[in-house]
Amino acid sequence: MKPETRSQMVAAALIMIGAVVVIYFLPSLVLWIGQYSPALAFIVGGILLLGFFWIFWLRARYQRRR
């Protein structure tokens, strides 16, 4: 296995683990924030969900440049 391939696998695994943790805690986090402000809960939930796709988009841009 090439070192470059291994690095890509580790990066993808860390991103996926981070996404799973965020998605696991997202409902309770949004409900907790929703007690104070439903609009803020909506915004935080949207940012966390879009953040998952944003990370992969940034990684693809970085890989394309290299």
Contact present, 52 and 4 (Cβ < 8 Å): no
Is 41 inside a domain boundary?
A: yes
Is 51 inside a domain boundary?
A: yes
Q: What is the pTM of this model?
A: 0.69
pLDDT at 30 exceeding the cut of 90 = yes
The CA distance from 2 to 32, in Å, is 45
Is 5 inside a domain boundary?
A: no
Residue 37 backbone phi and psi in degrees, to 5:
-155, 115
**Residue 19 banded pLDDT, cuts 50, 70, 90:** confident
Is 25 inside a domain boundary?
A: yes
Is 7 inside a domain boundary?
A: no
Q: How many domains does the chain have?
A: 1
User: In one letter, which amino acid is 37?
Assistant: S
User: What range defines the domain where residue 46 resides?
Assistant: 13-65
Percent of the chain with pLDDT over 70: 98
Is 6 inside a domain boundary?
A: no
